[in-house]
């Protein structure tokens, strides 16, 4: 089942069950992992997006 993401505001959390709003947890996570990598694919083409966290 696919969802039309244009129906929701871009700032709305899609996976509320995975949301983290604990400030201490977020700070500790960023200290332990100052960057992350997001890998996706579109029509068989892979994409990798490296991110540096700024908090």
Would you kindly state where each structural domain of the chain is located, as residue ranges?
A: 20-55
Per-residue pLDDT at 53 exceeds 80: no
pLDDT at res. 23: 94
For the full predicted model, state whether its pTM sits above 0.85.
no
DSSP string for residues in 11-49: TS-S-GGG----HHHHHHHHHH-SEEEEEEEETTEEEEE
Q: What would the pLDDT profile of 15-52 be if each residue is shown by its tens digit? A: 889 889 999 998 898 888 878 888 899 999 999 988 77
């Amino acid at each position: 089942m696919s969802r039309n993401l244009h129906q929701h505001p871009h700032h709305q959390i899609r996976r509320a069950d995975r949301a983290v709003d604990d400030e201490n947890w977020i700070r500790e996570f960023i200290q332990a992992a100052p960057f992350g990598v997001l890998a996706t694919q579109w029509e068989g083409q892979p994409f990798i997006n490296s991110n540096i966290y700024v908090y």
